[in-house]
Amino acid sequence: MLMDRMAITAITSRLQAAQPQSPPGKVGVLIETGELGHRQLMLWDHYHAGGWAAAVRQLRRTSCDLVRSGFTDAEWAAARDTLLAELERRAAAMAQVPNVEIAKDVSRAVADGRALILPDALLGHARAILPGIDARAGSMWWRAQWRAGREHFRVEEPDFADTAAAERTVRETVDGAATHARCRLRK
């Protein structure tokens, strides 16, 4: 859970740095574990109308760079500091969390088949574990996560509704944005 959150924080920061004028929430990362243990790692961009190709190129470059080069020491340290600060805020606010929010957390944990770790306990684990995990280890972990699955690009663009060649167009855009031959989509 901590590695998921570290990766989400670091990658979201990288995506946001590539689009500094964009509003918060325009780009990001989501990591979910499905019913059968399948993990979904999703990088997303809520692009403006007609901006799908630029969004695809940026996401492709980012995902390729992360798999090839990994995280930098600076972005990993910033992600660790951000995550620890967030966990400290959550631990301090534990008593004010409404019961309905706690029930949602319990429901999600039960649905995922995992234990629900209280914020103060999670903070303790994070303080003990995260300082010993450097950018190199985080990068190796991310590569293993990314390569374990099958890559898929989805573009939600109204203009594609009537286009028979939409899949080919997206694939060509994705492959054209690959910074290295190993980053091309597998067929």
- What per-residue confidence (pLDDT) applies to 187? 52
- pLDDT over 90 (residue 17): yes
User: Residue 47 — pLDDT band, cuts 50, 70, 90?
Assistant: confident
As to burial, measured by CB atoms within 10 angstroms (0-12 exposed, 13-18 middle, 19+ buried), residue 93 is exposed
Closest C-alpha to 10, from 72, 68, 90: 72
Region of poorest pLDDT, from 88-92, 116-120, 145-149:
145-149
Neighbour tally for 114: CB within 10 Å: 11
State the angle between helix axes of 52-68 and 166-177 in degrees (0 to 180), rounded to the nearest 10: 40
pLDDT in tens, 57-109: 888 889 888 988 999 999 999 999 999 999 999 999 988 989 998 899 888 88
Residue that wins the pLDDT comparison between 184 and 27? 27
Whole-model pTM: value is 0.84
Q: Where are the beta strands (DSSP E) in 79-168?
A: none
Which CATH number describes the domain made up of 2-183?
3.30.830.10
The pLDDT-based confidence of 169 (bands split at 50, 70, 90) is confident
Return the pLDDT at 126.
Answer: 97
> Which residue did the predictor score with more confidence, 40 or 85?
85
Lookup: tokens for 124: 């303790």
Distances, alpha carbon 79 to alpha carbons 2, 34, 157, 165, in Å: 11, 25, 32, 40
> In 3-state terms, what secondary structure has residue 180?
coil
Q: Average the pLDDT over 6-13 and give the result.
A: 96
